[in-house]
Structure 1
Amino acid sequence: MRTKGMQRSIEDFSRALEQGYAAVYRRNFVSVTYEYMGGYIEEITGYAPEELTPEMWDSLVLHVEQKGELSGLSKEECFRMNRSGQVDRWQADMQIRTRSGQTRWVSDMSTVLRDESGDCFGTLGVLQDITERKDAEKKMADLAETLCLRNREIEADLALAREVQHALVSGQLKQFPLDVMNEKVRANFSHRYIPASTLAGDFFEILPLSEHEVGIFFCDVIGHGVRAALLTTFLRGLIEELVPQGDDPGALLGKINRSLKEVFGQSDSLLFATACYLVLDVSTGMIQFSNAGHPAPLCLQPANQVVAKLESPDQTPEPALGIVEGYAYTTQKYCLTAGEALLLYTDGVFEAYDANNEIYGEERLMAFIKQHLDLASELLMDELLHDVRCFSTSEDFEDDVCLLAVVPTAVA
């Protein structure tokens, strides 16, 4: 079945392939012999070509990863189909044990040889050492698995952090004073909180200062995600520490600003937060407030059909926290009258865009609120969010969203 010319062709082909660390073979299923085996097989297995028989080769194979059309079939079924000539091509990665006891990976690619009658009598193939490639693939697979496990751990940590954030927001006061069994409720609080990602940079704290005074700290840390959440954690701890000194809004913001600069001033990244701090005296309706670059709180006046911003007389904005070292924030005052309420919000509410890239904006926000002053605070917030979603034709917000309604109930 084999001519001298064919033999020379196989030998020439084999010498060429050996430059690529491969051995050509010609296997005869009838005589159960290798009619030809390239010399590089000794480098792969430790056995010389004349030593290696088909039976010996089969005994060296520890594991087979079938490729191509035979992929997924058992080793025995693949061998049977190959030797019976049911398939024309064989491709597999094989793990073998060498003469020295080491394990190596070999790629086996062959094609069926047929006689003049079309019957299969053997294969012509190439064995190539792919140990380095398989080792690299295993390292990559191990690394991918490690990264996958690490990602799952990070996702679990982030999910827990998100739950904590939601719990902190949900756990804020709903009414003041706390002891409603012995004293009439003087103020109600309601909120809407929508993080843009797993973790948010928006938050607020409602801080009882005395029997008749309550502090409201409303904040938006730059960005969202892990970095923003870490800064909110720092600010929350700082606010709790400064609560006893919380009756002067301007002074409180100044101390927070100073602490931010001391801790993060040397950071390569710019870290800052906009914030508004108010102190409400529920017995008189008097509000003291200071603003560090945050959207001005809105005073809702249903009786006059007015929505007014709480800001300084000259409407000059003051810098965000963490920007200007040593800045002295001013404190402003406003006295609520019967029926008036406050609405605080972050810029994520109005920084939504429609299909024409037009922003929803503060003016549209104030106009919507003015048209719906007859609604209760919780319904008003829901309707506002619905209007923004309709405007942007999206259920999602690009930035964190936080709304807080403050409704005094006993202002004369």
Structure 2
Amino acid sequence: MSDAPAPSPTPTPEAMALDSAILRVLMDTIPDRIYFKDLQSRFVRNNLAHARELGVATPEDCIGKTDFDYFSREHAERAYADEQAIIRTGQPIINKTELITTRDGSQAWGSTTKLPWYDQNGRLIGTFGLTRDVTPAKRAEERLIEERTLLRTIIDNLPSRLYVKDQESKYVLNNRAHLNFLGVKDQTEAVGRTTTDFFPGKRGEQALADDKLVLAGERIINQEKPDFAIGGNHWSLVTKVPLHDLRGKLIGLVGISHDITRRKIAEQELERRTEEMEADLRMARQVQEAFLTRPYPVFPGATGQRSALEFAHRYIPATTLGGDFFDFVRISDTLCGVVVCDVMGHGVRAGLLTSLVRGVVEEMGFRAADPAAVLGEINRSLMPVVEQTGQPVFATVFLGIIDLTAGTLLYANAGHPAPMIVRGDTGVLMRLAPNDPEPAAGLIADIAFTNHQCAFGTGDLLLGFTDGVIEAANAAGEMFGDQRLWEFLRRTGRTTPEPLCVSLLDELQRFSERTAFEDDVCVVAVQAARPN
């Protein structure tokens, strides 16, 4: 009895037909492109997916044709060379990623595998292959590479020093600014080393201590810290945050530091200059207060009277140096000048301008008895400031001259809120508002201001104020206004300067519900004294 294996049964035609049908179904349903070629790289058989990719109706339409009929010459030559190499060597090509270009110029990426094709007798008769469309994956990979390149370009060109450390505080990545800061030329000299390898000592140890806090879950955001630089005082603004992978696992930290030494030096210099300026402002405020609180002038009156005129004022500046100014000027025993002025703005500039206005009034001396002439001189003094600075500079001014002998008030007004007179004998109110108001000083060169006159007898009271009074606002944004001031004076009736100023300021504070105001508040009152 022979030990030789029994020969395999010859497949029946039905079995062969079934195998062929299974192979055809498999080939035509698989999305990958399958093809067989002869020794001259001509298509012998391919599946439906490959036929559709080539732009033909059926696989049979491809038989006898080559890649040169469907693809660009460059791609066809490359494919032909690969297939001829397989035929010569018998070595397959496995998962080769290549850019495939058709004859119309459209492109796609494919992963190609090609192998030698043998017949049933082991004779090489051609090649067969499978190409899978990997265009979406390749495009995503390209976008990822582009984004990484862009990110790396941005990182390396940031002026701030950026770095990534692992869980042992060893450098994993550094941008160019940080490499320069560490004193190394490329990434390989920094990877695997810690801060203390470059900066031994207290500051390096502090940096590692900060790393431990961050690796424990804390975040360091924009903290100012002494820098590692040698020589002088150097500062950095430091941020460190934990770094997690896609699964949320802690893998290290990301840090960024920015040299703020220049800013710190500038801040220190600014602080020094601010202190000097504040000292100057305090001194200027003291000088300003000295002018505003000096004793009221005394005018000879009737027997038993201390002065023929009684004065009072209240002044609350919005800032250290206010822009409001008032003065009572003793021109003679019987002539008293009353000045109320509001210079544009607040602070140093306003304080300087009020000094200019005060200087003009005092310099005029006896000429101050002509209010319109004084306002004209103030206007001429402000115009050079406007011309030299190129910025608007103006002041509203009311100047009144009380003549005790004539019982009159001669006044001129350069855009200032109209003062009020309370008649001593009747309590009637009178607003000193001219029919043709004139502009503030400093707005129009060579303007001629106008004098006006009214009676000012025994018991009459003049109330002057700046716009801070009528523009004082409450929480709803409603201003105190002229009407409320008028009603207040009607309720108050005949009174004397000091109680009037006190009660008016109280009224403003009750209305606005505040003790300090957004604008300077100035109130002055002058009354022709009644005989005792």
**Structure 1 residues 110 and 353, CA, compared in 2 at 3 Å: closer, same or farther?**
closer
Whether 2:352 is the aligned partner of 1:212: answer no
User: Hey, what does 2:365 align to over in structure 1?
Assistant: 243
Partner of 1:278: 400
Q: Is 1:160 matched up with 2:283?
A: yes
Distance 1:59 1:386, change over 3 A: closer
Contact 2:235 2:261 in 1 (8 A): no
Counterpart residue number, 2:260: 137
Match of 2:505, as an amino acid? L
1:318 aligns to 2:438 (yes or no): yes
Stretches of structure 1 that go unaligned for 5 or more consecutive residues are 1-16, 28-33, 72-77, 112-123
Equivalent residues in 2 for 1:303-342, closer than 5 Å: 303-312=425-434, 315-342=435-462
Residue 509 of structure 2 is aligned to residue 392 of structure 1: no
Alignment CA distance shift 1:37-1:26 (3 Å) = farther
Say whether 1:267 aligns with 2:389: yes
Q: CA deviation at 1:229?
A: 1.6
Would the aligned equivalents of 1:283 and 1:411 in 2 still touch at CA under 8 Å?
A: no
Give CA deviations for 1:68-127 in whole Å, capped at 9, x if unaligned: 8x45xxxxxx9xx9xxxx9799999897799xxxx999x9x999xxxxxxxxxxxx9899
* Structure 2: segments with no counterpart, 5+ residues: 1-151, 157-161, 243-250
Deviation (angstroms), 1:60: 4.0
Give, in whole Å, the separation in 2 of the partners of 1:223 and 1:254.
21
The corresponding residue for 1:64 is 204
Tell me: CA distance 1:397–1:65, structure 2 relative to 1, closer, same or farther (3 Å). Answer: farther
Using a 3 Å threshold, how does the CA distance of structure 1 residues 57 and 291 change in structure 2: closer, same or farther? closer
Structure 1 residues 286 and 144: alpha-carbon distance in aligned structure 2, compared to 1, 3 A threshold = same
State the Cα distance separating 1:308 from its structure 2 match.
Answer: 0.7
Please say if 1:191 is aligned against 2:313: yes
User: Which residue number corresponds to residue 526 of structure 2?
Assistant: 406
- Alpha-carbon displacement from aligned partner over 1:7-64 (angstroms, at most 9, x marks no partner): xxxxxxxxxx9x969798998xxxxxx9x99999998467997xx999x949943633
Partner SS for 2:468: coil
**1:362-404 deviations in whole A, cap 9, x for unaligned?**
1210121121124432222221122222222333322111111
User: Hey, what's the Cα distance between the residues in 2 that align with 1:353 and 1:110?
Assistant: 48
Q: 1:90 to 1:334 in 2, by over 3 A?
A: closer
In 1, the alpha carbon distance for the partners of 2:475 and 2:241 equals 59
- Rounded to whole Å, the distance in 2 between the matches of 1:59 and 1:267 is 53
User: Matches of 1:351 and 1:23 in 2, distance apart?
Assistant: 59
SS for the counterpart of 1:229 is: helix
Distance of 1:266 and 1:42 partners within structure 2: 52
CA distance in 2, matches of 1:323, 1:88: 64
Q: How far has the Cα of 1:261 moved from its partner?
A: 1.8
CA contact (8 A) 1:207 1:243 kept: no
Structure 1 residue 170: Cα displacement: 0.8
**Is contact 1:200–1:225 with CA below 8 Å preserved after alignment?**
yes
User: Quick check: 2:235–2:264 contact (8 Å CA) kept in 1?
Assistant: no
Does the Cα contact within 8 Å between 1:341 and 1:408 map onto a contact in 2?
Answer: yes
> What percent of counterpart residues are identical?
32
The 2-side partners of 1:347 and 1:53 are apart by 69
- TM-score between both structures, scaled by the size of structure 1: 0.70
Q: 1:351 to 1:90 in 2, by over 3 A?
A: closer
Is the contact between residue 61 and residue 95 of structure 1 (CA under 8 Å) also seen in structure 2?
A: no
- How far residue 202 of structure 1 moved from its aligned partner, in angstroms, is 0.6
**Normalising to structure 2: TM-score of the pair?**
0.55
* Structure 2 CA distance for aligned equivalents of residues 276 and 90 of structure 1: 62
Q: Compared with structure 1, are the counterparts of its residues 370 and 153 closer, same or farther at alpha carbon in structure 2 (3 Å cutoff)?
A: same
Count of residue pairs the alignment pairs up: 355
Amino acid at match of 2:467: D
Higher relative contact order (CA 8 A, sep 6+): 1
Q: 1:293: which partner in 2? A: 415
Q: Work out which of the two has the higher radius of gyration on C-alpha atoms and give 1 or 2.
A: 2
Change (3 A) 1:65 1:152: farther
Are the equivalent residues in 1 in contact too, given 2:299–2:308 (CA < 8 A)? yes
CA positional deviation for 1:193: 0.2
Q: Does 1:360 align with 2:500?
A: no
Give the structure 2 partner of residue 343 of structure 1. Answer: 463
Following the alignment from structure 1 to structure 2, what is the Cα–Cα distance between the partners of residues 110 and 390?
A: 52
Shift of 1:309: 1.6
Q: Whole-Å Cα distance in 2 between the matches of residues 321 and 94 of structure 1?
A: 54
Distance, in Å, in 2 between the alignment partners of 1:157 and 1:359 is 34
